[in-house]
Structure 1
């Protein structure tokens, strides 16, 4: 079973790291509506397009999701 994207994303939180992905992780932590059990790219992308005002652009999510899939060894989509 694949771990949810949110759980993986939380491993990227680091208050000393000001990269876009680390900032995304930090902001997702404070987003109480974030789909915490989701694994699917399209489900997460749809949510963030409507609710991810804290993302400077969707490329940041794409980078984080690519890291998530590389860790899991799965194809990206």
Structure 2
């Protein structure tokens, strides 16, 4: 899989209002400055901590990135 983290996370958008990963994905989708081509943890984590919307919680990012890495390594 050669998808960016952004492309991977978009698949969670339809998860429902109570799903934290879906909330993260929706907020990320609406964030026009999100680094859409990035694949590396550190730049993404820095963006989440410094510039992201409150709905993009770092704990949810960590979970999503772990899933992203698992799928990359398959």
TM range (shorter): 0.7 to 0.9
Name the count of aligned residue pairs: 74
Unaligned runs of 5+ in 2: none
Root-mean-square deviation over aligned CA pairs: 1.9
Structure 1 runs of 4+ off > 6 angstroms? Answer: none
Q: Deviations over 1:32-52 (max 9, x none)?
A: 000000000001001111112
Unaligned runs of 5+ in 1: none
Instruction: State the TM-score, normalizing by the size of structure 1.
Output: 0.84
Instruction: State the TM-score, normalizing by the size of structure 2.
Output: 0.87
